[in-house]
């Protein structure tokens, strides 16, 4: 019997400037710190590596049985609605025995909306 291994694939847009990725790398690092032993990969849509399929390869190589894909996007724009489903289909075709679950974008999370509102209000109170 196979022991279930749940992987986490964080998916961000990507940029030409390597410094752009620092906050996303911090999110991946915090996930690893908070759940040691859970396979976590950060992937990018463009300009940076690994891409979604490459990160999926890495998680499959770690014997994941399920992977939750979390788009680190504020809204569900064209990339989320059009590009991610195509990439997810490639992962399903490549690893049909692995369960791939696309989660809502982080920007749709009430917790993130609340945190952004607090930050904006705090900035508004600054001199």
Q: What is the pTM of this model?
A: 0.93
Q: What is the pLDDT of residue 117?
A: 95
Mean pLDDT per block of 10 residues along the chain (127 residues) reads 90 96 98 97 97 97 97 83 92 97 94 95 87
Q: What is the pLDDT of residue 1?
A: 65
Q: What is the pLDDT of residue 127?
A: 75
Q: What is the pLDDT of residue 79?
A: 72
Contacts of 25 (CB under 8 A, 6+ apart): 42
Q: What is the pLDDT of residue 80?
A: 77
Q: What is the pLDDT of residue 64?
A: 97
Residues paired with residue 12 on neighbouring β-strands, in sequence order? 44
Q: What is the pLDDT of residue 99?
A: 97
C-alpha to C-alpha distance for 22 and 24, rounded to whole angstroms: 5
6-125 CATH: 3.40.50.1400
């Amino acid at each position: 019997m196979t022991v279930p291994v749940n992987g986490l694939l964080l998916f961000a847009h990507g940029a030409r400037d390597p410094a752009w990725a620092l906050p996303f790398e911090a999110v991946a690092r915090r996930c690893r710190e908070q759940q040691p032993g859970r396979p976590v990969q950060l992937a990018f849509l463009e300009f940076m590596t690994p891409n979604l399929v490459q990160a999926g390869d890495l998680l499959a190589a770690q014997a994941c049985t399920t992977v939750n894909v979390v788009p680190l996007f504020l809204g569900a724009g064209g990339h989320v609605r059009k590009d991610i489903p195509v990439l997810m289909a490639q992962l399903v075709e490549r690893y049909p025995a692995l369960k791939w679950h696309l989660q809502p974008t982080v920007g749709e999370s009430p917790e993130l909306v609340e945190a952004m509102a607090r930050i904006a209000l705090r900035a508004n109170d600054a001199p």
